[in-house]
Structure 1
Amino acid sequence: MAKTDPETLPYRPCVGALVVNGDGLVFIGHRADGPEEPEGPGTWWQMPQGGIDDGEDPLEAVYRELYEETSIRSVRLVAESRDWIRYDLPPELVGKAWKGRYRGQTQKWYLLRFTGEESEIDILTPGGGHHKAEFNAWKWAPLEELTELVVPFKRDVYRRIVAEFADALK
């Protein structure tokens, strides 16, 4: 089988949500991936994120993705990342993840303030009829811990997001 050249593949357009509660802690979910997933079994935490549908506005996409992964609807927009942030998949995942169609992701991130009750959060049967739970556990984590909890190839993205949103979180 020929190896996929990442230079020939586009980036997948996506959005991400840094959801912060009243105590300044950030929502993170533990990945529920099985061993059959290209990235392997979920062994890391991440913030809600996902693809943008054709013709969908990125802000609409972040609200949809957040609801589909967490059932959260009670949020207020605080800030939007200045730029789209890209990351590349590790070479061993190129050609496997996302059916081999992308070399990585280009993401627009949003800082959202959670305004609801924790009882609203449901990761096991999330909203929107999402076919499969993305997370099998969740917690509120300090901003400083985010980069250590995520899979290594996404750490630079998380460092940039944390740095960019730090002032807005004060």
Structure 2
Amino acid sequence: MSFRLAAYGVCLDGGRVLLARYVSPVGDGSWWTLPGGQVEFGEDPVDAVVRELEEETGLVGVVEELLGVDSRVIPAHEAKRGVPHQNVGVFYGVRVVGGVMRPEANGETAEAVWTPVAEISELDRSAVVDVGVGLVTQRPASGHLPPVVVGGLVRH
């Protein structure tokens, strides 16, 4: 089994959310996700989401609130490494305060775009997009949503 703690930023601007297009390094395509990624050993998740936002998009952000936490186990037959994988994602509401949007230098994020929330369901995307947008729009008191169903345009 493998485990990953990740921090994701939900950046809103009016009716739009900031998405990053991830390009798989193993050649299995590209899809949209939220800016964010792995929390490094010893790193605070708040610092991780701000670091990842800048690395992936060139934008500088300030964490305004904790939106919630999502935990999912990906079965071995669906996981990239062929072993069961648990991803725990911490989702933050982040306000962009500066920077210049650009692709990630020497990374896996090809571009970042402000996308109307109403158009998200039409995109090939990571489940974290649905979780983050669900947390910011539904505001569950528990900070937790029912699991997002993976399939069709939604992937792990």
Q: How does the TM-score come out when normalised to structure 2?
A: 0.73
Q: 1:165 to 1:95 in 2, by over 3 A?
A: closer
| Number of residue-to-residue matches in the alignment | 139
Choose between structure 1 and 2: higher strand proportion: 2
Decide whether the 8 Å contact of 1:32 with 1:135 is kept in 2.
yes
Q: Which residue of 2 aligns with 1:30?
A: 21
Change (3 A) 1:13 1:148: farther
Give CA deviations for 1:95-131 in whole Å, capped at 9, x if unaligned: 617xx6x6031010111122336xx112142xxxxxx
Task: Give the TM-score normalised by the residue count of structure 1.
Answer: 0.68
Q: How far off is 1:57 after superposition?
A: 0.7
Hey, what's the Cα distance between the residues in 2 that align with 1:81 and 1:10? 25
- Residue 132 of structure 2 corresponds to 161
Rg larger for: 1
Q: Paired residue for 1:106, among 67, 88, 108?
A: 88
- Cα drift, residue 63 of structure 1: 0.8
Structure 1, unaligned runs of 5 or more: 1-8, 126-131
SS of the equivalent of 1:96 reads coil
1:61 to 48, 56, 61: 48
Q: CA RMSD in A?
A: 2.6
Q: Which amino acid aligns with 1:79?
A: E
CA distance in 2, matches of 1:95, 1:136: 20
Q: Which moved more, 1:157-166 or 1:50-59?
A: 157-166
Structure 2 residue corresponding to 1:80, chosen from 66, 87, 93: 66
Q: CA offsets, 1:57-116, max 9 Å, x none?
A: 11011111111111211x23232123x21123354343617xx6x603101011112233
Pick aligned residue for 1:146 from 117, 120, 124:
120
Gaps of 5+ in 2: 140-156
Distance verdict in 2 for CA 1:90–1:31, change over 3 Å: farther
Supply the distance in 2 between the matched residues of 1:59 and 1:124 (Cα, whole angstroms): 20
Provide closer, same or farther for how the CA distance between residues 93 and 160 of structure 1 changes in structure 2, counting only shifts above 3 A.
Answer: closer
Given that residues 71 and 123 in structure 1 are in contact (C-alpha distance below 8 angstroms), is that contact kept between their aligned partners in structure 2?
yes
